[in-house]
Structure 1
């Protein structure tokens, strides 16, 4: 059987050593079968195992193969659409619980890293960088909003202050969130997988789910075996394909591109980001960057709707990097890759249950590092019969993309072009 390796990313090249994990052969029984060994699946598994469930994970490729092992590695709070948007959508009462959860994912990550001694280059501090006075005004409103929900580790920065933490002349100001931060995302996933196995969970790699047999005792079928379970958690996100057609109809895989420089050395790295914070700007199609543990610059940005792999990623992202840091014009790019995330029309995650025993969470819409860790806890609570927080997410309205799957890419690209034009013109 053919195996699927990691993409040729910086993360794969610098991953911590892990044991081989065989594919599923034959039939097994478990309490919960999780489809996908990314953050959602791994977080769910850990919370379930800690509460006495028997858990098996089937992964089509390798742990963290998808967005969990390819993303920018930034711990960013809240959701892709913030709490004020949720309030306007479902009302203040329903939004209250979702607002309280908006800052929990980062705490879960830090708890996991500490409890299981996960080596993933965890650093504190994340910067939202404003390119215009309008964006700065939005950050001022965002600070008030987040503080209303109890999040207080925030500092507004004027132009002088932001240049103390980011050596870029483009920003008029920003906001520092000290509960934000950054990690080596693949090593976080690998550490969480090791924690799952230390608690008795089983992970089968190179084991795609090819069919779900629904019913009172659902079965996940794989190429060379099957898993009989009491519950199934679908956690494939942008790499799920059409395994569950009703989920594919309301979401769209999208690609984002990332490059990594050669090692910059301590002195140059410190001039770029003196406090080693991560940064994202406030544009609709935002750029994001940070330093790695070995003092490279990781820089990402842009969206490819429909998740096509561009022919030359460096040609797309390097000009963005040089616009922020022209002093890197002679620096070599060692790695360039694409990672897919799952977009929903509302930009809010889709959470729910199919029948009585198939649960799912998907559609982080580019904001998944923290949300997926929260989602694992919420899903585990629901399986234990504590569904209040699960129901809060499940109650969010979701809609198919206009024009269906055939037209969702051009319509989304047109919308992104419009908002990007507004960013450039300062509207």
Structure 2
């Protein structure tokens, strides 16, 4: 089944709140004929656009191809939360990789948030960065760990932008009976993700990048130079960067065994008054909870609650996305029972077994960055900067990310989906216990 077309029309953004509210870009042309460049970037999401921008700023001649529209995939559909740290807690990273490697990954994660904050200040990006993400514990037994983890970040990492929330303060900030405590990180935040992607595209074009849309890679011929083939073009490039995340398909089986596409869903309510917004989430923070199948929510600039939750592991989106996501929203906010849902959409992202990104040099002149596991607004954007410096001969950060082992899914690419469905049924049950 073709992930690029099974749920979407060719060349058309999904009917999401983001697509309805973003400042649109005119379509880019399709690639035609024989083309040549220093670097061909495949994928027009955060990874690809950031790679192209940072390479062009270094003086490289760059072509970026996108099978649909720039920002069409997960980069333009996600929850917009710009999380601090890696997708995996520092304690787990220390146990997995050792303290020094874990500390280096923490520094990289900090850089990713700084990068998005900086990009949001550009006139090319028509979106503001809003401070603060609340991590809310949906079980009392998790609260002690939240307190200990905040203390660890404060003491061991010198990070003072996060603090613990007891039950009373958590309820004050998030007016829901579902949570018993947690933490708030004021260095993290949220942003309109499609506007960020479109802004990156504007910046890339201004820097000299040639962007082609509705231009799908059909196969990649390794060599020096490498050749990226599409239906209507052959692109010869000294280097190739694959920034396809959940849409890579079978282009590279080695990556496909380690990065799996899954679907996630978001709804947007009707606009509320500023007072009603403040009564649900104070101070315009974002929220993500402690469930394995995470509920994540925040407000848009026009006071709509954007609520994400539920996952599926079959490629086709459910017929009633609004109904599916409304259920967990009402578990958190039963007071919204009569609130209208104006938008409901799904998206495909890439996950790994250990929820850490998968960076790999597939050949001497071909690199891939993917598997951001729902933590991609910051890390996928930074991965483009890292890819650019790697091609320029500075591979320290790339190597730090690539040295994180990425286990294969049981059964490889062929069996990863049915086996993960069974695992997710278990985790979904655990969330209810």
Is residue 2:162 matched to residue 1:154?
Answer: yes
Match of 2:140?
133
RMSD between aligned alpha carbons?
A: 1.6
**TM-superposed deviation, 1:326:** 1.5
Asked whether the equivalents of residues 103 and 151 of structure 1 are also in contact (C-alpha less than 8 Å), the reply is no
Deviating runs (4+, > 4 A) in structure 1? none
Which of 61, 71, 96 does residue 89 from structure 1 map onto? 96
Mapped to 1, the partners of 2:175 and 2:32 lie a distance apart of 53
Which of 5, 11, 15 does residue 4 from structure 1 map onto? 11
Is residue 2:394 matched to residue 1:386?
Answer: yes
**TM-superposed deviation, 1:205:** 0.7
Is residue 2:213 matched to residue 1:205?
Answer: yes
Is residue 2:422 matched to residue 1:424?
Answer: no
Match of 1:262?
270
Is residue 2:187 matched to residue 1:189?
Answer: no
Helix, strand or coil at the partner of 2:217 = coil
Match of 2:260?
252
Helix, strand or coil at the partner of 2:118 = helix
Asked whether the equivalents of residues 253 and 413 of structure 2 are also in contact (C-alpha less than 8 Å), the reply is no
Which of 94, 104, 115 does residue 108 from structure 1 map onto? 115
**TM-superposed deviation, 1:345:** 1.4
Match of 2:4?
none
Match of 2:331?
323
**TM-superposed deviation, 1:387:** 1.1
Match of 1:59?
66
Match of 1:346?
354
Match of 2:408?
400
TM-score (norm 1): 0.95
Match of 2:5?
none
Mapped to 2, the partners of 1:95 and 1:179 lie a distance apart of 19
Map 1:24-63; keep pairs closer than 5 Å: 24-63=31-70
Map 1:159-170; keep pairs closer than 5 Å: 159-170=167-178
Match of 1:75?
82
Mapped to 2, the partners of 1:307 and 1:124 lie a distance apart of 34
Query: 255-264 or 42-51: which moved more?
Result: 42-51
Mapped to 2, the partners of 1:234 and 1:390 lie a distance apart of 14
Q: How many residues align?
A: 424
* Unaligned segments of structure 1, at least 5 residues: none
Query: 14-23 or 332-341: which moved more?
Result: 14-23
Asked whether the equivalents of residues 257 and 338 of structure 1 are also in contact (C-alpha less than 8 Å), the reply is yes
Asked whether the equivalents of residues 45 and 201 of structure 1 are also in contact (C-alpha less than 8 Å), the reply is yes
**TM-superposed deviation, 1:116:** 4.2
**TM-superposed deviation, 1:365:** 1.2
